[in-house]
Amino acid sequence: MKKEQNIFLIGPMGAGKTTVGRQLAKGLGVTFYDSDHEIETRTGAGIPLIFEYEGEQGFRRRECSMIDELTRMKGIVLATGGGAILGVQNRENLKNRGFIVYLKCTVDCQLKRTRKDRNRPLLHTDNPKKKLNELSIFREPLYLECADHIVDTDRWSTRHVVKDILEAFAATRMHSKTRITN
């Protein structure tokens, strides 16, 4: 990976963006960032607290600013929050500044991976599965619009996902930027 190239991971909560991103960055010898973690570090408050005091709209403003800042960096792997693609400016910044990988997983897999995580304000509901289905229906077209490569994380190990991403990333560098799906 050339030091000026970026890989951005998008997808729903529980898809493995942070886990895959850390391993991908380690394998490439570049810096890893998680946009949600960066927001928490800068504000000194967790995502649920930000949602409580500022609402989702306030959080999304912070997220937009953070995505803009992080995508301007060179030679990074960035894991975005599941809703980062909601912002038009976020989608443009991601598309124009790096190789976008959509980590896809089913709602059942998301539920299994997030069931004990209290740091997911959108799932603080009586019916988390219904909420995840609603989010999926709305967000799936946006993930697909942005993706340069798609990887299903339900059935593959982190190691296999990382290998697949590296192969797709290398292939796009040899050819013009095209949509590659798996």
- Burial classification of residue 137, based on how many CB atoms lie within 10 Å of its CB (0-12 exposed, 13-18 middle, 19 or more buried): exposed
Q: What would the pLDDT profile of 38-91 be if each residue is shown by its tens digit?
A: 999 999 999 889 989 999 899 999 999 999 999 999 999 999 999 999 999 999
Q: Domain map of the chain by residue range? A: 7-181
Which CATH number does the domain 7-181 belong to among 3.40.50.300, 3.30.300.30, 3.30.420.40, 1.20.120.160? 3.40.50.300
Distance CA 41, CA 46 (A): 8
Q: How far apart are CA 5 and CA 7, in angstroms?
A: 7
Q: Per-residue pLDDT tens for 128-153?
A: 888 888 989 999 999 999 999 999 99
52: CB partners within 8 A, 6+ apart: 121
Cα 169 to chain centroid, rounded? 16
Q: How confident is the model at residue 181 (pLDDT cuts 50, 70, 90)?
A: very low
